[in-house]
Amino acid sequence: MLQLIIHYLHLITSTLKKNRKRTFLTMLGIIIGVSAVIFINSVGAGAQSLIFNQIKGVGSNLIGILPGGSEEDGPPASVMGIIITTLTNDDALAIAKQILHAESVTSYVKGTGTLHWQAQTADSSFNGVSSSYIVTEETEVGEGRFFTEDEARDLSRVIVLGSQIKEDLFGDQDPIGQTVRLKKENFRVIGVMKPRGTAGFQNYDTEVFIPLLTAQKLLLGIKHISFMRVKIDKEIYMDDSVEQIKQILRDRHNISNASEDDFSVRNQAQALQVLGSVTDALRLFMAAIAALGLLVGGIGIMNIMLVAVNERVREIGLRKAVGATYKNILWQFLLETTFISFFAGAIGIILGIGFSFLAALIVRQLDYDWDFVVSWQSIVLGFSASCAVGLIFGIYPARKAARLEPIDALRYE
Amino acid sequence: MPLIKITDLCKDYANDGVLTKVLHHLNFEIAKGEFTALMAPSGSGKSTLMHILGLLDRPTCGIYELDGKDVTKLSDDELAELRNHKMGFVFQSFNLLPRTSVLENVKLPLFYGHAPIDQHDELAKRALESVGLEHRLHYLSNQLSGGEKQRVAIARALVTNPEVIFADEPTGNLDSKSGGQVMEILQTLNQSGRTIILVTHETYTAEHAQRIIRLKDGEIVSDEKVRDRKTAGDGLIK
């Protein structure tokens, strides 16, 4: 058995060496297919990491509370732009008081408007938030300071600018202490946020922050809030806290049945899981498309092996005449295709990793938080798929070769 | 006991529904160590007969006993095994593997046999020595002359130490000098006890054998001892 394997390996390598160009062309389909699988998988994982890193940038121990009820997995209506007024800052204060593990609770209202300073203007979305905002969102002020709890309570007209807005309005000048106008009201600039970049579809650097009450009363004329975020001190308390928050809100809103909830409580970790499963499915789908390339490569191998069998009919006849059995010939050709696709797979994997690394390098140059990930699963998949393709598409030509009658093969011209 | 015993053997071919009778109820025996020539004009069934005797083809009817055992009912794998260690083949067109070294060509049958792999080189070299080609081991088959190619083919047929060697028009593609060398080798092999079955349409070549079986239209027309046996080197063979 061992001597047969050695003989086959010797035979295959010498056959392939004699037909270098053809061997390379046979491999090409598999090489492209496998490297595409690896590359697409890696880019998919990189994109996933980009999204996750940005979401984690918001903080992962967060519980989000939105007005309006919803199905467990679906989005609440408020996300669609429907205004629901069931949630107030008093709810937030109650939660802050009653939830033991709440590190901070922040209420949000949102609006858009144009900022004016001297002759400069900048479009921005403004956030009315609690003074706990920077704790909840784990973000920092670059220059100056954020507003205090007292300022928030006193309806102060103070504003903290996103780094991009500051750049647009003031350029190199110091904005602290300057007065800007937003919706016909004057605000004193007390701070500028550190650059934070984009998360999802939101660019934090073009936002401005004013006290919640100021935004509600002066700019929007409303009493409800858009949503609230609760930061829990430890991840293990997340699930309990979600249940407690639901109970508090039901008590406050006089709701006896969970199906009548006029709010939705969402755990950030759950959101990540949902997003993860969606992007996983997407990656799998893309890899499946890339695997189609492998199929085409396999058909290429089959074609070329059929030609090779025809060219080697006399060789097959001779081998049979000197004692080769059906199985001997079958294995010779089957191993040949498997060998070709195995090597093509190896080359494809190396190329795929190389391309993925290049892509990651380029994206990182563009200043994105992109991980270079090549999962061992994709390597195993690439290898086994290429070997399987070689085996499957090798069977037909190999059987054709092995079935030749020695006498017909020897007579073949 | 004869090495080969043929009883009532026939072979038909069906081509597009038309039945062609190639061999008609043949009966003969070949003893161990005999040098027999099967002689016939082209197309009279001598190659078919050799293929059946060499277990490359199966008869339509009749019995073929090899070493006293009927081989017509054996499986393909059993036939392959018998071909490997009991038989050697020499073809008119050599059938060497192209762009492969002489040594590798001669070793080929060993890989389908039972000899341990570390002896393959030694066995192949010995076979090549017996045909006078020990200096050509690492030549590629396409670098050889026709006569040398046929001697490599004979070495390949010898390498498993078979009982019987089938030579199908072995001198057909050779000039007379190379043909003479090939016949000389076959006669030497026969003298050392090996059974040789030679297929030819040339009377002169056939007369190197001890016995000539003449076929015509698939039937044996004569079966006789060669009275004036030729010895290779005597004259030119074509």
Confidence (pLDDT) at A72: 61
Residue B82, C-beta contacts closer than 8 angstroms, at least 6 positions apart: B55, B66, B71, B74
Q: Is residue A151 part of a domain?
A: yes
End residue of a domain, out of A201, A231, A261 = A261
pLDDT tens digit sequence for A120-144: 888 888 999 999 998 888 888 888 9
Task: For residues A41 and A123, state if they share a domain.
Answer: no
Mind listing the pLDDT tens digit for each residue in A140-199? Answer: 888 899 999 898 888 899 999 998 899 888 988 899 999 999 988 999 999 999 887 766
Q: Which of B76, B108, B117 sits opposite A322 (nearest CB)?
A: B108
Residue A21 C-alpha, separation from nearest chain B C-alpha, in angstroms: 16
Contact B117 A6 (CB under 8 A): yes
What is d(CA A394, CA B206) in angstroms, rounded to the nearest whole number?
Answer: 46
**How many domains in chain A?**
2
Measured in angstroms, the CA of B57 and the nearest CA of chain A are apart by 6
Task: Please identify which residue in the block is written with the tokens 């990182």.
Answer: A364
Q: So what's the ipTM on this one?
A: 0.92
How far apart are alpha carbons A65 and A241 in whole angstroms? Answer: 12
Residue A268 lies in a domain: no
Could you tell me which of B1, B22, B5 has the C-alpha nearest to residue B64? B5
* pLDDT tens-digit series, residues A39-83: 988 888 888 888 777 666 656 688 888 888 776 666 666 666 677
Please give the Cα distance from A12 to B87 (Å, whole number).
Answer: 26
Over range A339-368, report the average pLDDT. Answer: 90
Instruction: Please tell me the CATH superfamily of domain B4-225, with its number.
Output: P-loop containing nucleotide triphosphate hydrolases (3.40.50.300)
The domain boundary residue, chosen from A261, A290, A321: A261
Query: How do the domains of chain B map onto residue ranges?
Result: 4-225
CB-CB: which of A323, A327, A407 is closest to B51?
A407
**Chain A closest CA to B228's CA: distance in Å?**
34
Would the pLDDT of A350 be above 90? yes
pLDDT tens readout for residues A250-269: 999 988 888 888 888 888 77
Q: Which of B97, B104, B116 sits opposite A315 (nearest CB)?
A: B97
Q: pLDDT tens digits for B212-225? A: 999 998 899 999 99
Judging contacts by C-beta atoms under 8 Å, the chain B residues touching residue A405 are 57
Residue A106, helix vs strand vs coil: strand
| Domain containing residue A130 | 85-261
| Matching residue, tokens 């600039």 | A189
Q: What is the pLDDT of residue B236?
A: 42
Considering only the beta carbons, identify the residue of B76, B84, B100 that sits closest to A326. B76
Does B194 score more than 90 pLDDT?
yes
| Residues belonging to chain B with any Cβ–Cβ distance to chain A shorter than 8 Å | 51, 54, 56-57, 76-77, 80-81, 83-85, 89, 91, 95, 97, 99-100, 104, 108-109, 111-113, 116-117, 156, 160
Read off the pLDDT of residues A77-127 as tens digits, 9 standing for 90 and up: 666 667 788 889 999 989 989 988 888 999 999 998 899 998 888 888 899
Q: Report the distance separating Cα A317 and Cα B154, nearest Å.
A: 17
Residues 387-406 of chain A with CB under 8 A from chain B are 405-406
Which DSSP string do the residues of A197-227 spell out, in sequence order?
-EETTEEGGGEEEEEHHHIIIIII--SB-SE
Instruction: Give the tens place of pLDDT for each residue, B83-106.
Output: 999 999 999 889 998 888 999 999
> In Å, how far is B169's CA from the nearest CA of chain A?
14
- CB–CB of A283/A45 below 8 Å? yes
Q: Is residue A266 part of a domain?
A: no
Q: What percent of chain A has pLDDT over 90?
A: 27
Rounded (5°) CA angle B161-B166-B172: 130
Size of chain A, expressed as the number of residues it contains: 413
pLDDT at B98: 83
Report the 10 Å Cβ neighbour count for A122.
20
Within 10 angstroms of residue A96's Cβ, the number of other Cβ atoms is 18
Q: Which of B112, B114, B118 to mutate to test the interface with A (most CBs of A within 10 A)?
A: B112
Residue A381 inside a domain? The answer is: yes
> Do residues A327 and A216 share a domain?
no
Q: pLDDT > 70: what percent of chain A?
A: 93
CB contact under 8 A, B56 and A410: yes
| Final residue before a domain boundary, out of A261, A287, A317 | A261
What is the tens place of the pLDDT at every residue in A281-322? 888 888 788 778 888 888 888 898 898 888 889 899 999 999
CA–CA min distance B183, chain A (Å): 22
Interface test with B, best of A322, A404, A413 (most B CBs within 10 A): A322
Which amino acid, B232?
A
